[in-house]
Structure 1
Amino acid sequence: MNLHQFRFVQEAVRRNLNLTETAKALHTSQPGVSKAIIELEEELGVDIFARHGKRLKQVTEPGQHILESIQVILREVANLKRIGEEFSSQDSGRFSIAATHTQARYVLPSRVARLRGLYPKVQISLHQGTPEQVAQMLLEETAEIGVATESLADYPELVTLPCYDWQHVLVIPEAHPLAQQQRITLEMLAEHPLITYHPSFTGRTRIDQAFAQRHLTPDIVLEAIDSDVISTYVLHGLGIGIVAEMAVADDSKPGLVYHPMGHLFGSNVTRVAFKRGIYLRNYVYEFAELLSERLPRKLVHKAMTGHYEDYAL
């Protein structure tokens, strides 16, 4: 047996047992993939996959156990490579970050710039996506660290730690009737067209829950993933906006008024995540510390070695 066979099995599962897609992803031929998997099954003496003709239909029960072992082996092989890179060249390498748009646009730039100042030989790749895509990039080891508000804590294969908390902010034109209100209620908001985030992004769940708990139906006329887009449409009179506070902290627009909405929508927690069991290089720990004082190297290392449950926010 060999690592190529292990990778073929793992990729076949990732590609929903489609060997054509598996071969394409691994830059090889479909017959080659099929032959390698069969040879591994013959060596192990069990079927990893149940078949219908030449097509893979499902993973067998022994195949599930084999797949778990393959994942551990390939993860440790990747760790060996990282350790080699770490000690052969302590201050260089490639660092991949996965984040949602809001984190990439408003939170990460200053931290990435500071990391580059500390490690000028490190090449940084920034991948943007939905919270679910961020989690998937971590699971597939496309990224070493993920930053998002939603979903990351839902994956047991990830070590997820709180990074910072934040609240939503109401964005209102200066001439709007609500602009001079001292304390805005959900009932007031429900009377006006609203512009806010797509349901998968930036704490939108809390907004929906707040209205639902008061049996109110908000008039959401536009959904977006970009806070700048939301503010722009507010300026054009389409409605009033609800955005994340980090999106307006240093970038307020003339003609708009901002009201904190923590009393209505509560506090949100942005989290960082790592794939459980992977080896983190020095600059990954450094980047976590740059993201938040809540993430010192000692704590992150403790979490990665299995003691994440006693993290105190």
Structure 2
Amino acid sequence: MRVAVVGLGVQGHKRRSVAGAELAATVDPVNPEAGYRRIEEVPVASYDAALVCTPDEAKLPILDYLATHRKHALVEKPLIAAEDQALAGLRDRARAAGVVFYTAYNHRFEPHFMRMRDLLQGGRLGRIYRLRMFYGNGTARLVRNSAWRDEGAGVLPDLGSHLLDTVLFWLGAAPASPFRVVSASRFENRAFDHVVLASAGPPSIELEMTLCSWRNDFKCDLLAENGSAHIESLCKWGPTSFTTRDRKLPSGRPDEQTEMLVQPDPTWVAEYDHFKALCERGGPGNLDNDLWINRTLRQLAEQALAS
């Protein structure tokens, strides 16, 4: 598969590296490394798919162009629109054109995230009582100094989109009750740099995201009827651990198993391979997930900005 990388920022450079010999073109309006300034300049016959790594406002017009010319697309998260119909229409045009549109949520390919999904699907833990996730970066100053990132709802669409997608990935569906904003803070930035969300459930869910962690970190605690499961860190920050605890009745110290990983981040290559496999077999894409994530983020942003 021949790919064009659209947007040569941090993510675009990662995507270009992973594409390797399959890279057909690079596009960026300002980066002199790019071969083209606009996707419309790239010869249509020279590529089969695009890896779209642009700022949010540029994504929808580019994806519309790609659907028109029957090109597959992997687009960096989040895929945001002011109205649901914009994403639903894009989904329908991609399907009609027979192409795959896939929004990249690379944490789905974290080994411990996949272990958590398999554990929950297997039913070993029984009824899930509570799920808490914390995602912290130390990038408040970098975001504040960015020409475009410190605006709108800030960390909410940036890290919150990952957490909402992880809820879908692990639970297999949107939670029973909507999320609400518990707190939204601007400690250092113009946009929100620390947000806490909650859903009453079942299961009860709490999502905390921040740019003020100083040490990048991810934590998850899942409490259930027959035990619990816990994740510490991501492969890119390693070491990362996955712990399961089997409940003792009526009480007592549980049996505990921990799997520890120290390895380079495997998610970028795994996600790219998954995208290519989807393209080869004709889908499915995942814009239905984006409809729920977009709607949820929009409602939460309205709550946060109104508070």
Same fold (TM over 0.5): no
**Which structure's residues are more often helix, by fraction?**
1
Could you state the TM-score of these two structures normalised by the residue count of structure 2? 0.28
Could you state the TM-score of these two structures normalised by the residue count of structure 1? 0.27
